[in-house]
Chains A and B, each alone.
Chain A
């Protein structure tokens, strides 16, 4: 009964794809994004195809039924990408002026670099956001073990993902404790930065101290035993993985072929 309860059943077939299939899509998508960014279009030689390519990420998020969760996570990436685009557009000189607002000028060279970098970041980070929003940690762990990855590597990978959340919570606890002791943690950016660095020492030291006991706990639970391990959680396949892999590879081959043809011709 419990074994059944622990399994993950997804109603959406795209989200339910096997993690190794989704990871292949992520890798090929990223590769194609970088390749398409090298296609220069028009007189300005802008990487316009990479903008068009980005349409796939939100389309996948909508298709997977996770658009709200995806958007919440992607806004952080978007912020970074916008900063890159603005900084690159305004600071890199060279070429004709494309647009001007008061003393701020956007030149061709800057815009070219902004599109290239900004959309490369959005494409690659965006597809990874989609992957992690549609794949649970234990699915990744299970898929890694099935692929023959050493269980120690899998443990490190998964515990790191889980620890990010735990350390975030611990950091808040330390901040609250410091606030209770009269340390200023609220206010302008300088005050907040100072409080953040002051909380890092107890946070890191606490994590290091706990490591020893955690290692011994793992040893107590037979982590190092050399035998075939059993697993309550089993990963499921949708049956469409082969089709998705074929489509992803076919698209990649077509883009590579196109690129090679452009170089030759």
Chain B
């Protein structure tokens, strides 16, 4: 197992907060895997992301107990900007991810590379490649603030992907997007998954998580209550009592089994549901 991020007994409290937002959490994140983080509001998902990226405690201050290690080194020991090349971070609000100093989307995507002093020929090459990948190349000469929410979020992803980080922490990227925008963002995330990037995605749209993630982290009240294979976790109906949303297909599958339809397994995606129902119907016809 190639561990890329490790939290060792981490407890973190924001300044002026009465109780910790993360409580005694220990996890190991494997390289090249896609982790979906789910849980109700206030469960500590965003704080977990901030800890992994090193924003907590370096930016937020607060009290950190335990250790957050990235490739074996504590996040507190990384120099300014050093983590930016290792971990890309995408926030939920597309508007605030625009630098505010660039006139065109092309320059906006190139901004990070300029900050790192990458030669201009290479910048041009990398920006074009990433803009094509994220399907925003046709908008290259538009003003960043004039784009739609979905386009801005794709631009935010492009601005981070262009830095070629191995790890991506993405915090609710589709919370302010329409279904079309959500789909386009997930298509990009799927491409990143195919490139074997390590992805940690916080998302309320659990149906999308079921489709794309490898492993699921379930959080509640600042604690990690479950971690493991998505099929196992997303079909555990007891999580509904913990306030955790489960995929609609899983709930449908469970109801069908309860109604006496013998599904081979509880599905978590549309494809799995179609397969399981098809098999059950075939079985019924044959008997």
Contact = CB atoms under 8 A, between A and B. Distances in A.
Contacts of B128: 2
Interface stretch (B98-106, B177-185, B188-196): B98-106
A221 B96 contact: no
Interface in A183-222: 210, 213-222
A227 B117 contact: yes
A220 B160 contact: yes
Interface in B1-60: 53, 55, 59
Contact of B115 (A5, A159, A216, A223): A223
Given A2-B140, A220-B84, A221-B163, A138 B124 contact: no
Contact of B103 (A137, A214, A224): A137
A159 B127 CA distance: 22
B120 A231 contact: yes
B250 interface: no
Interface residues of B, number: 45
Contact of A6 (B88, B104, B156): B104
B124 A2 contact: yes
A210 B95 contact: yes
A226 B115 CA distance: 9
B91 A3 contact: no
B101 A216 contact: no
Contacts of B118: 230
A232 B80 contact: no
A219 B127 contact: no
Interface string A228-239: 111111000000
Given A159-B101, A210-B96, A222 B116 contact: yes
A260 interface: no
Contact of A230 (B99, B101, B114): B114
Given A137-B103, A229-B114, A222 B96 contact: no
B80 A155 contact: no
Contacts of A97: none
B127 to A, nearest CB: 7
Contacts of A227: 116-117
Given A141-B101, A162-B101, A213-B93, A221 B112 contact: yes
B107 interface: yes
A35 B53 CA distance: 57
Interface of A: 1-3, 5-6, 136-138, 141, 155, 158-159, 162-163, 166, 169, 210, 213-233
Given A159-B101, A213-B97, A232-B107, 11 more contacts: A1-B124, A158-B101, A162-B100, A169-B145, A217-B97, A220-B88, A221-B115, A227-B117, A229-B114, A230-B118, A232-B110
